[in-house]
Amino acid sequence: MDIDKVFKALADPTRRRLLDLLHRQNGQTLSALCEHMDMTRQGVTQHLQLLEEANLVAVVWQGREKLHYLNPVPLHEIYERWIGKFERSRLGALRDLKKRLEGDDDDKA
Amino acid sequence: MTKPSFVYVTYIATTPEKVWQAFVDTDVMRQYWVGPNAECARVNVSDWKPGSRWEHQRVDPSRAVDIVGKVVESIPPRRLVYTWARPSDAEDESKHSRVAIDIEPQGDGLVRLTVTHEDLERDPQMLAGISGGWPKVLSNLKTLLETGRPLPRSPSAT
């Protein structure tokens, strides 16, 4: 899988927003996703296509419904590549601290 | 088919046969399937025939079993489906969730591996554990099959 595609797909705020929506609720249809997006159905379709090509979104057909799933496997590969085993617990502690101090919310862009 | 809880996809430069073997052969599995804290390897033990039982065992002297289930479908080297439950729920199939592993050749020596997990919504604790576990298993497997090396594992890693 081409890692450039993953970073290109993530470089766009609309596509990150789509991933956030799937993170909150996995397995959504195009129509359900469009309800939260301020753009045409066609625009959302194109963004989803790029996410699918980057393997960040996986698609499952259920009858006539096309369901979109967040596929975190490429993100896990990026994480494995640059984050050492011994850094993980310290990074986790830092993240928890930041979250507590800032009242962070996962969906924040 | 119910609506899947999770769908995980990875592309691996290998053959369908090698991916299949990685899901049924404990000698391969122990090289990439590690526990949640990477403290020891896990293997799935079964004869992988439809109707047979399978067990998710720790590779340590305890051989403790964390997950059990039944093989539903077994079509080498394309599709493996099994149920998934806590050992205490082994007899109550209404509490089993379901895993499907699909292996599709893509041409150019590439294989698309899809893991679909269904019926997890009623067990939030299991859902949380599994949603983090599968991506790790799949990316470890990809590394093993593409480089021939298991991931470096430190005995003191957390």
Examine residue B153 and state whether it is found in any structural domain, yes or no.
no
| Residue B124: per-residue pLDDT | 83
Examine residue B55 and state whether it is found in any structural domain, yes or no.
yes
Examine residue B154 and state whether it is found in any structural domain, yes or no.
no
Examine residue B157 and state whether it is found in any structural domain, yes or no.
no
The closest alpha carbon to B41, from B52, B28, B24, B50, belongs to B28
Examine residue B42 and state whether it is found in any structural domain, yes or no.
yes
Domain count, chain B: 1
Torsion sign across C-alpha atoms A75, A79, A81, A85: negative
How close does chain B come to A19, measured CA to CA in Å? 14
- pLDDT tens figures, A42-58: 999 999 999 999 999 99
The answer to whether the CB atoms of A67 and B136 lie below 8 A apart is no
Confidence band of B156 (pLDDT split at 50, 70, 90):
very low
Answer whether residue B9 shows pLDDT above 70. Answer: yes
Find which of B112, B113, B139 to mutate to test the A interface (most A CBs within 10 Å of its CB).
B139
- pLDDT tens figures, B20-76: 999 999 999 999 997 666 667 899 999 999 999 999 999 988 999 999 999 999 999
Q: Which residues span the domain enclosing B31? A: 4-147
Instruction: Please state which CATH number belongs to domain A3-102.
Output: 1.10.10.10
The closest alpha carbon to B82, from B108, B112, B44, belongs to B44
pTM of the predicted model as reported, rounded to 2 decimal places: 0.85
| Residue B148: per-residue pLDDT | 86
**CATH number of the domain encompassing residue B62:** 3.30.530.20
Facing residue for B135 by CB, picked from A62, A72, A89: A72
Answer whether residue A77 shows pLDDT above 90. Answer: no
Enumerate the residues of chain A whose CB falls inside 8 A of the CB of residue B1: 62
**Domains of chain A: which residue ranges?**
3-102
Q: Residue B30 CA to chain centroid, in angstroms?
A: 11
Facing residue for A76 by CB, picked from B11, B38, B135: B135
Per-residue b or e along B79-106, where b marks 16 or more CB atoms closer than 10 Å to that residue's CB:
ebbbbbbbeeebeeeebbbbbbbebeee
The answer to whether the CB atoms of A73 and B3 lie below 8 A apart is no
Examine residue B122 and state whether it is found in any structural domain, yes or no.
yes
Examine residue B155 and state whether it is found in any structural domain, yes or no.
no
Residues of B with CB under 8 A from a CB of A: 1, 3-11, 38, 114, 116, 135-136, 138-139, 142-143, 151-152, 154, 157-158
